[in-house]
Structure 1
């Protein structure tokens, strides 16, 4: 087991010295070249005029990878900012995090000091990780209500989670990892970048996650380990040529949302292997996964990875908190514990406390079943207000708040509905304030204020929202 406090172990030990060890789009770097460029960024961060985290514009580029590594070297928490985020959400993230420096191209409204990254620059000083046992990453994630919360992840938590996955997937320096995931979430950034730099496997980020790009990663760069969300895998499965090109790969990993059974079966048929499914959250890293040598059942996400434990608890009023049997049928709230859990929500002690049981287990809010052999199946959210679309977790309350800023809308309820491509599509039910509205204009209205993936895919005008006697909207009826 590697030292969890040195997150980028293989990179710092001189690994990844192949000329194409790190490929992001059209840019290739060796590990030493990445370290040299990141050390320049680390120097810029330590010289910033005030304390506080640094915000990185998390585009899928080599500049982003250099900036993230530079922040880790400097021992300063880094806030990945989605490149498609709306101005309002970006302002919230920067204010809530207390960011003191912006790294990347400057959006018009940014008033922070700005530094740009030149991947060709090199520092003459040897690069090393500054000792730091506090939060290293502040990931903003949507809850069921309100604005996104900052999830605090330490290097120790990320290292422990990655080591568990290395064990589960037989992930070694002999692998080449390829994916086209965003670099502002656990899946794409922690697993998809820091994982490779910790374990020493080559990394290919394909840019846009098109089936042809995944096929090229295997064909041209020998990718053996592929990461994707169900939306990506559904598109690969629908492209027989691209799917067939993935046959030489060792492992196809799907996560961030449930994989439809039909897509699972198509991948099995067209690539020659069933995908590996796994489960986790920003707050927990990946706690459960099918092992590389384990049984692959559609709809089941495997067993706890090394170092983690899980259990099911009742959420019924009469028996709340009572532990439930693992029989493959009984549904309860999935609770987890282990070394890969977050340090809390930034500046929100009450919200943090609400997620933990009195005996130290994290309450995921997901409903699940566990069978006698320890295999897990995620049934869904306890709440209908957390939508998983295209691999993203999106809070309905945040979208509803944005929609209510529209002058033509008086009431709104946002739900997720099944979608073969996205997993769930976001549907907004709106009550008009007066004159008719253009649904496309309403969708664009939300996209201007929030991230593009949070926009409704459909707007339905209704005369009234169904409510109970207490006035609460009954979303199940929608």
Structure 2
């Protein structure tokens, strides 16, 4: 097999090493590359190349996920991972937005796949039922500057946007993390994160495979299995979001003393533990250090830029801070006029570098708006840089972006869905501070019938919003607080909940 895709070129050097271990077995790099070509054969058919067509796939976080992703890449397509937790309505939006011709699915999601195929003119491919074919086929030329992946992210415009990254973008992202976090081929990591976000896709899985390491893949979050891997000294690197660390701390307290001792000893043999995707409460950091002996390495990134900032692998880490720019990343802190501010002054973080995305899918105006005139990406995050060049994230510029449990959620998207219900006259969604989740989603509403059963509304939402997007706090009001211009004042709504 010959390919210009950097990660696949790199992985072809590892051949007999174990790449992935999941519930079904162990798979070498050679097997993974061969199985990916089976996917390529069925995608290409009579075509010579997919020429950057988006290909959606609905596959759990296991070996078949990577097989599918790599098969799409070898075909010259853009891999679009669908969120396995999302209801049909959200999956329909992505299929319609991408205009995909294919949906690759795992049979555990067959019901959803059939429903999507009925609505859209797409070809279904069952990843477990690919007839074996001769893989000695001519592969299309794929340039490293071509589109490789599209991940959907929430924004202030409501509906999610497809963030297109090239093979070069992904490669730059992986190289920066490999250098900063000292990845090595002897490493072993477990993925316990959703694979429709870059945290799991790139930071964990792709970074491990780039370096010839082994990645355990769990189809679902399973504390018993995680403790087993830890006790058996199977892991050298561990990455999670703050909510997972909080859950593990709570569960650790219920373990027998002998098991606690074994877990502690095993944690201390590991070389790196990372927390990201949401602010890490200092209390969680301190408790985890007491259990594991590790000061969690905090870092900062976004779907559009990959990882941009990271605390040091070797030097002292400062709680509540996310470190310095990673290799190849340039940063600036600016005021409202995009002029640089002095050290210690808060401002918006701007980022430039080879890992920054290429475009929002078919949204040229949104893409243009995301950058300054001289090409810096506007993160929308307010930061402060200290005299040592170490950054602290202070929050979002927009109150309409809620960061909960590692997910970035658009309040406007939730409001848009709520307003579709016949009983909802007005609504406003806000984020409330939470030590465990970073923020929790809250909805204030004016209803046609004040006596309407809220449980009916919650059941209705199950079919329309992913679990992590659903409000957990509710307040029924006679009217929403508004300013003189008639605009809802969201800080006042937060006060009503608090």
Q: TM-score, normalised by structure 2?
A: 0.89
Residue in 1 that maps onto 2:6: 6
Residue in 2 that maps onto 1:108: 115
Residue 147 of structure 1: how far off its partner (Å): 0.9
1:6-34 Cα distance to aligned partner (Å, 9 max, x none): 1234322234x24x531133432111111
Residue in 1 that maps onto 2:413: 398
Partners of 2:62 and 2:218 within 8 A in 1: no
- d(CA) in 2 for partners of 1:129 and 1:80? 22
> 1:261/1:39 Cα in 2 relative to 1: closer, same or farther (>3 Å)?
same
Q: Structure 2: 5+ residue runs without aligned partners? A: 494-498
Are positions 1:455 and 2:467 aligned together?
Answer: no
Residue 4 of structure 1: how far off its partner (Å): 9.1
Larger displacement relative to structure 2 (119-128 or 49-58):
119-128
1:221-240 paired onto structure 2 within 5 Å: 222-240=234-252
Residue in 1 that maps onto 2:135: 125
How much is the aligned-residue C-alpha RMSD, in angstroms?
A: 2.1
Residue in 1 that maps onto 2:39: 41
Partners of 2:189 and 2:238 within 8 A in 1: yes
Residue of 179, 182, 199 corresponding to 2:191: 179
Are positions 1:134 and 2:151 aligned together?
Answer: no
- d(CA) in 2 for partners of 1:89 and 1:150? 13
- d(CA) in 1 for partners of 2:169 and 2:9? 14
Residue in 2 that maps onto 1:323: 340
- d(CA) in 2 for partners of 1:65 and 1:36? 12
- d(CA) in 1 for partners of 2:140 and 2:274? 30
Larger displacement relative to structure 2 (240-249 or 436-445):
240-249
Partners of 2:333 and 2:348 within 8 A in 1: yes
- d(CA) in 2 for partners of 1:48 and 1:332? 53
Residue in 2 that maps onto 1:64: 65
Partners of 2:480 and 2:488 within 8 A in 1: yes
Residue 120 of structure 1: how far off its partner (Å): 8.8
Residue in 1 that maps onto 2:487: 472
SS of the residue 1:367 aligns to: strand
Residue in 1 that maps onto 2:212: 200
Residue of 311, 331, 340 corresponding to 2:355: 340
SS of the residue 2:149 aligns to: strand
Residue in 2 that maps onto 1:84: 85
Are positions 1:427 and 2:438 aligned together?
Answer: no
- d(CA) in 2 for partners of 1:203 and 1:55? 23
- d(CA) in 2 for partners of 1:470 and 1:227? 46
1:15-414 paired onto structure 2 within 5 Å: 15=15, 17-18=16-17, 20-47=18-45, 52-104=53-105, 105=110, 106-110=113-117, 111=120, 112-118=122-128, 124-125=134-135, 130-132=141-143, 133-220=145-232, 222-240=234-252, 241=255, 244=264, 245-315=266-336, 320-327=337-344, 330-414=345-429
> 1:251/1:439 Cα in 2 relative to 1: closer, same or farther (>3 Å)?
farther
> 1:193/1:332 Cα in 2 relative to 1: closer, same or farther (>3 Å)?
same
Residue 230 of structure 1: how far off its partner (Å): 0.9
- d(CA) in 1 for partners of 2:24 and 2:451? 47
Partners of 2:351 and 2:376 within 8 A in 1: yes
- d(CA) in 2 for partners of 1:455 and 1:309? 36
SS of the residue 1:363 aligns to: strand
Partners of 1:230 and 1:257 within 8 A in 2: yes
- d(CA) in 2 for partners of 1:462 and 1:435? 9
> 1:166/1:313 Cα in 2 relative to 1: closer, same or farther (>3 Å)?
same
Aligned pairs, how many?
Answer: 468
Residue 438 of structure 1: how far off its partner (Å): 2.7
Residue 121 of structure 1: how far off its partner (Å): 6.7
SS of the residue 1:269 aligns to: helix
SS of the residue 2:298 aligns to: strand
SS of the residue 2:72 aligns to: helix
